[in-house]
Amino acid sequence: MNARAAFLIIALLSTGPAFAQGPASAQIKGQLRLPEFSGLTDKASESVNVTLGPELLGMASRFLSSANPEEAAAKKLVASLTGIYVRNYTFDTDYAYPKADIDGVRRQLSAPGWTRMVETRSRKENTDVDVYVLLDHGRAQGLAVIASEPREFTIVNIVGNIDLEQLHDLQQLGVPDLELETTKKPVPTKPAPAKPAEKK
């Protein structure tokens, strides 16, 4: 996480517990129910925990400068979102985290509306990556990324009106680069055969 993202999170959390917690029962369409992962921070060699609901997103956008092109793009994207949730833990030993909890989050993505965009499985490296999008009338209303391997797992859940082309701008708020291919590369066209010269 870059220094600015860390500053944003610290500044937001320091505004008070009432803002940071929010209603326990409130859940927005496209938002996953994430486990508490209690105790993992002490076990992990590295960890990132980002929880930005609607109120905190509004506050976070005020820290982004409109004069900086990258931050201005992130600010514009954040205005259309209602939640950003990131969990990332890295460990020094294999499977120091509850794998069943990760599978439980994956099962939520079988609910109606969620469509899988990417699925990768590697038996050699024991890695699983899933990318899902929640579509509503042809528009993306939620995005979920779950990546797990023996010593690390990452969960990213973005909620709101999502422009997949602009997701990289969210790195300003501590969201890892999702490296999604959202545009099709143009198929190269073969040059037309040259016409034979006309005889005079």
In a domain, 197, yes or no: no
Mean pLDDT of 58-82: 78
Predicted confidence band of residue 175 (pLDDT cuts 50, 70, 90): low
In a domain, 187, yes or no: no
Position 8 scores a pLDDT of 42
Position 151 scores a pLDDT of 95
Task: Burial-class residue 189 by CB neighbours within 10 Å (0-12, 13-18, 19+).
Answer: exposed
> First and final CA of the chain: distance in angstroms?
72
Could you report the per-residue pLDDT of 28-53, keeping only the tens digit for each?
889 999 999 988 999 999 999 989 88
Name the β-bridge partners of 81. 160
In a domain, 10, yes or no: yes
Mean pLDDT of 9-26: 40
pLDDT at 143 over 80: yes
Contact 141, 154 (CB under 8 A): no
Separation CA 81–CA 162 (nearest Å): 7
In a domain, 185, yes or no: no
φ/ψ of residue 74, rounded to 5:
-65, -40
Q: Tell me which residue range forms the domain holding 155.
A: 3-20+28-173
